[in-house]
Chains A and B, each alone.
Chain A
Amino acid sequence: MSDLQLQGDGEPMETSTYVALSQATALRNELDVTTNNIANANTAGFKGERVAFESYLQREGIGTERRETAFLTDSGSYLDTRQGAVSDTGNPLDVALQGEGWFAYRTTDGQTAYGRDGRFNIDQQGNLVTLNGAQVLDVGGAPIALPPDVGAAVSISRDGTISSPANGPMAKLGVVTLPDLQAYERIGGGLLVPPQGVPTQAPIPDTATELVQGAIEGSNVQPVVEMTRLMSIQKAYDRAVQLMSSEDDLRRDMLRRIGRPT
Chain B
Amino acid sequence: MKALGIAATGMLAQQTNVDVISNNIANANTTGFKSSRAAFQDLIYETMTREGALTSEEGTARPTGIDVGLGVQTAGTVRLNTQGGLLATENQFDTAIDGKGYFTVTLPDGSRAYTRDGSFQLSAEGQMVTLQGYEIDPGINVPDNTTNVSISEQGTVTAYIGNDPQPVEIGRLTMATFTNDAGLKPLGNNLLAASTASGEALPANPGDPGVGIIRQGYLENSNVNIIQQITDLISAQRAYEMNSKAIETADQMMSTANQIK
Report A's interface with B, CB cutoff 8 A. 24, 27-29, 31-36, 38-44, 46, 49, 51-52, 74-78, 89-93, 117, 119, 121-126, 131-132, 148-153, 164, 166, 182-190, 195-198, 223, 226-227, 230-231, 233-234, 237-238, 241, 244-245, 248
The yes or no answer to B188 lying at the interface (CB within 8 A) is: no
The yes or no answer to B162 lying at the interface (CB within 8 A) is: no
- Beyond A28-B3, A123-B180, A148-B199, 5 extra complex contacts between A and B, CB < 8 Å: A29-B68, A33-B68, A75-B66, A77-B64, A226-B242
Majority secondary structure of chain A interface residues (helix, strand, loop or mixed):
mixed
With A33-B68, A198-B52, A234-B253: A151-B243 Cβ-Cβ less than 8 Å: no
Q: Which 9 A-B pairs have the closest CB atoms?
A: A39-B10, A198-B52, A124-B199, A36-B69, A76-B64, A188-B44, A35-B3, A131-B75, A43-B40
Which of B1, B63, B67, B235: most chain A CB closer than 10 A?
Answer: B67
Give the residues in chain A near B43, CB-CB below 8 Å: 188
Give the residues in chain B near A132, CB-CB below 8 Å: 41, 75
Instruction: Please name the residue on chain A nearest to B178 by beta carbon.
Output: A151
Contact between B243 and A38 (Cβ–Cβ < 8 Å)? yes
When the two chains form the complex, which single residue of A149, A186, A234 contacts B249, counting CB atoms closer than 8 Å? Answer: A234
Contact between B2 and A32 (Cβ–Cβ < 8 Å)? yes
- Min CB distance, B56 to chain A, in Å? 14
With A44-B39, A153-B210: A185-B65 Cβ-Cβ less than 8 Å: yes
Contact between B45 and A52 (Cβ–Cβ < 8 Å)? no
Contact between B40 and A149 (Cβ–Cβ < 8 Å)? no
A42 to B257, CA, bound (A): 31
Majority secondary structure of chain B interface residues (helix, strand, loop or mixed):
mixed
17 contacts between A and B (CB under 8 A): A28-B253, A31-B1, A32-B68, A35-B7, A38-B242, A40-B10, A40-B69, A41-B10, A42-B239, A43-B42, A91-B80, A91-B82, A124-B200, A126-B179, A148-B199, A195-B65, A198-B61
Contact between B78 and A121 (Cβ–Cβ < 8 Å)? yes
Instruction: Please name the residue on chain A nearest to B257 by beta carbon.
Output: A241
When the two chains form the complex, which single residue of A24, A34, A46 contacts B257, counting CB atoms closer than 8 Å? Answer: A24
Contact between A35 and B78 (Cβ–Cβ < 8 Å)? no
The yes or no answer to B252 lying at the interface (CB within 8 A) is: yes
Contact between A182 and B37 (Cβ–Cβ < 8 Å)? no
Contact between B256 and A238 (Cβ–Cβ < 8 Å)? yes
The yes or no answer to B15 lying at the interface (CB within 8 A) is: no
A-B contact count (CB 8 A): 234
Contact between B40 and A40 (Cβ–Cβ < 8 Å)? yes
The yes or no answer to B259 lying at the interface (CB within 8 A) is: yes
Contact between A90 and B48 (Cβ–Cβ < 8 Å)? no
The yes or no answer to B122 lying at the interface (CB within 8 A) is: no
Q: Which B242-261 residues have a C-beta within 8 angstroms of A?
A: 242-243, 245-246, 249-250, 252-253, 256-257, 259-261
- Min CB distance, B242 to chain A, in Å? 5
- Min CB distance, A190 to chain B, in Å? 6
Give the residues in chain B near A44, CB-CB below 8 Å: 39-40
Contact between A184 and B51 (Cβ–Cβ < 8 Å)? yes
Instruction: Please name the residue on chain B nearest to A17 by beta carbon.
Output: B260
Contact between B7 and A38 (Cβ–Cβ < 8 Å)? yes
When the two chains form the complex, which single residue of B44, B72, B202 contacts A39, counting CB atoms closer than 8 Å? Answer: B72
- Min CB distance, A78 to chain B, in Å? 5
A99 to B80, CA, bound (A): 26
With A36-B70, A49-B67, A90-B82: A227-B242 Cβ-Cβ less than 8 Å: yes
Instruction: Please name the residue on chain B nearest to A183 by beta carbon.
Output: B51
- Min CB distance, B192 to chain A, in Å? 14
The yes or no answer to B130 lying at the interface (CB within 8 A) is: no
Contact between A245 and B260 (Cβ–Cβ < 8 Å)? yes
